[in-house]
Chain A
Amino acid sequence: MTPPHALDAHLRIDRGTFRLDLPLTAAPGEVVALLGPNGAGKSTALRALAGLLPLTEGHLHLDGTALEDPATGLHTPAESRPVGVVFQDYLLFPHLSALDNVAFGLRCRGADKKTSRAQARPWLERLGLAEYTESKPRALSGGQAQRVALARALAVRPRLLLLDEPLAALDARTRLEVRAQLRRHLAEFEAVAVLVTHDPLDAMVLADRLVVIEGGQVVQTGTPSEIARHPRTDYIARLVGLNLYQGTADGHTVTLADGQKLATTDELTGPAFVAFPPAAVALHRTRPESSARNAWQLEVAGLDLHGDQIRVDLTGELPLTADLTPAAAAELDLAPGTMVWASVKAAQTRAYPA
């Protein structure tokens, strides 16, 4: 009896000259990322889903229940929606301890002080914050605060989890670690999660599906690899055009599921992502004699002009995309079906814990 889409929404919001027009559906357990540049309408969409901003038109159904329908005047206020939000800068209540922050939503739903605290404690423990229950938010690090915010949003057992730039407030080092943890928690989350970000890497690592929006309109949707391989606008090509692979790391080598090995200068062990930009790929007619250990013979599947670059889509043992200058492409005499050697320096790859 599960409805085909746990989340079934069409968000239409008119604000002066700006118009958001965003159809959005998601299956239970799916993580959807709204990706787009600043001002694209991502946050507007998130606020609309949370009930903080009314829809002008469209509808919003969650688990088969209508939460909002401007045509009938239905608008379920934020406090009555089964929705949890992790805000960009977390917005932990500064006067409450971590435990009371997590217990806040439970208390608002009628639990007494003692019960709500008892129910909140396991959430903090699950997120590895057992020893920080009594800490005030200002005593927490950025990563800890982010996890408290996540615990607070999850504690009310939402049917829709919204995350607004969940990693933007973190410094680069914490970000890697928190991103990996967040990915695990999102994977465990059984309901729909919608993530808003302007960072393609966050989107690709955390989400099952990307919805790219520009100027309030959807410009592309698909899985991270689909979008990376077939960007439809310059913006996506520039930002999302990233070769991304998942595998298992052991020192400087990441082994992918199909046995392909990728060399990287980052050292780590366990599940990992490896990524490198198309511009880092060099193409050769013959097998390169350079020191690059990452070299594969691949077939040109397609050529596209993106700005002043030519994007080459390659298939074979390791599908990837490469960006070339028109001059280099002409010199190589590339056409669909051409066999070329592709190489990437280990120093130009990035490996992240998965």
Chain B
Amino acid sequence: MSPAPPTAAAPDTAVSSRTRARRRSARIPYALLLPALLGLAFLVLPLAGLLVRAPWSSLPGQLSSTEVWEALRLSLICATAATGLSLLVGVPLAWLLARTDFPGRRFIRALVTLPLVLPPVVGGVALLLVLGRNGIIGRWLDSAFGITLPFHTSGVVLAEAFVAMPFLVISVEGALRAADPRYEEAAATLGASRLTAFRRVTLPLIAPGIGAGAVLAWARALGEFGATITFAGNFPGQTQTMPLAVYLAMESDPEAAIALSLVLLAVSITVLAGLRDRWMSTP
């Protein structure tokens, strides 16, 4: 009849924290612990393998070349730009999918997630067919504006955004579906247009979801290989990101490849660990 409002929970705090403490000290069932540890080992051991096989003594020499740092710099710039691009168009797209109803919405939703299942190389070829010099749109971009995207850093950003954006869209759409749409109605009754309601109410409400999606997208973009090398090509300082450098180093010098992988790994872990606490935990 009269459910307790969520705001009136203050007096219960002491009780609930005690319950939580008890729950935490309780024994963890082996049926969960064993597969959990197995899963952890499965994820961590290959990384440990990299560390063990790393050519520590020659590492400074391996990493002294400017190409390495150029590739790293390019990777960080492109992944960040791809994330920015994904945010710019991905968040509105997620809103459209979550908050409006139009014929074929389910189909469009499936299309949006397509890059997740598409082999990235296929994605790269598809991008070439559309945005390449002879592509449907690329031809027109070339003749009208003299813009060619392949073999240019902007091509790397596009390829990475193509592959990474679905992560952001899915994450933000989930956050939007979880967020109460009546807040938008409340804003409307206060005189807010749909755009104002989105900007001043919905966006702050789903900020954790956007943050999580952006981190996922950034991580995916940073490791992107297939679509990038296919669409943007590979040229040091221009389009050669770390994963491309690692792949090519693997062709001739596995030790150098391991050294490069370590750098990429260290940077990613630093950034992700730093962002995770700030963004991925709900307030």
Contacts and interface: CB of A to CB of B under 8 A. Distances in A.
Contacts, number: 88
Contacts of A90: 5
Contacts of B183: 91, 93
A156 B191 CA distance: 9
A141 B190 contact: no
Band of interface residues on A: 35 or more
A60 B183 CA distance: 24
Contact of B189 (A83, A167, A175): A83
Given A108-B196, A142-B8, A169-B5, A79 B188 contact: yes
Contact of B186 (A87, A145, A168): A87
Given A109-B191, A152-B190, A95 B205 contact: yes
B7 A91 contact: no
Nearest to A103: B190
B190 A91 contact: no
Given A91-B182, A93-B201, A169-B3, A52 B188 contact: yes
Contacts of B185: 50, 52, 78, 91
Given A93-B183, A145-B5, A105 B188 contact: no
A91 B2 contact: no
A140 interface: yes
Interface string A136-153: 011111100100000011
A79 B182 contact: no
A79 B191 contact: yes
Contacts of B1: 168
A138 B7 contact: yes
Contacts of B4: 142, 171
Given A85-B186, A91-B182, A91-B186, A171 B8 contact: yes
A291 B218 CA distance: 80
Interface string B223-260: 00000000000000000000000000000000000000
B78 to A, nearest CB: 32
Contact of A170 (B5, B187, B196, B201): B5
Contact of B190 (A105, A142, A172, A175): A105
B49 to A, nearest CB: 45
What size tier do the contact residues of chain B reach?
20 to 34
Contact of B7 (A50, A77, A108, A137): A137
A95 B2 contact: no
A156 B201 CA distance: 18
Contacts of B103: none
Interface string B1-38: 11111111010000000000000000000000000000
A142 B7 contact: yes
Contacts of A138: 6-7
Contacts of A142: 4-5, 7-8
B182 A87 contact: yes
A348 B3 CA distance: 26
A84 B7 contact: no
A307 B190 CA distance: 45
B189 A89 contact: no
B192 A104 contact: yes
Nearest to A136: B7
A324 to B, nearest CB: 28
A159 to B, nearest CB: 13
B191 A89 contact: no
Nearest to A94: B205
Interface in B175-229: 180, 182-183, 185-193, 196, 200-201, 204-205, 207
B7 A104 contact: no
B2 A171 contact: yes
A89 B190 contact: no
Nearest to A50: B189
Nearest to A87: B186
Nearest to B194: A79
Interface string A50-87: 11100000000000000000000000011111011101
Contact of B204 (A77, A80, A95): A95
A104 to B, nearest CB: 5
A161 to B, nearest CB: 11
Nearest to A142: B5
A157 to B, nearest CB: 11
A168 B4 CA distance: 10
Contacts of A91: 180, 182-183, 185-186
A59 to B, nearest CB: 20
Contacts of A79: 188-193
Nearest to B196: A108
Contacts of A83: 189
A104 B196 CA distance: 11
Between B5, B188, B207, the greatest number of chain A beta carbons within 10 A of the residue's beta carbon is seen for B5
B81 to A, nearest CB: 28
B5 A105 contact: no
Given A89-B5, A95-B204, A104 B190 contact: yes
21 contacts: A52-B185, A80-B191, A83-B189, A84-B190, A93-B183, A95-B205, A104-B190, A104-B192, A105-B190, A108-B187, A108-B191, A108-B196, A109-B191, A138-B6, A142-B7, A167-B2, A168-B2, A169-B2, A169-B3, A171-B2, A172-B2
3 nearest A-B pairs in the assembled complex, by CB-CB distance: A105-B190, A108-B191, A78-B188
Interface of A: 50-52, 77-81, 83-85, 87, 89-91, 93-95, 104-105, 108-109, 137-142, 145, 152-153, 156, 167-172, 175
Given A79-B191, A93-B186, A95-B205, 19 more contacts: A50-B189, A52-B189, A79-B190, A80-B191, A84-B190, A85-B186, A91-B182, A93-B183, A93-B187, A93-B201, A93-B204, A93-B205, A95-B207, A108-B191, A108-B193, A142-B7, A156-B190, A170-B2, A170-B5
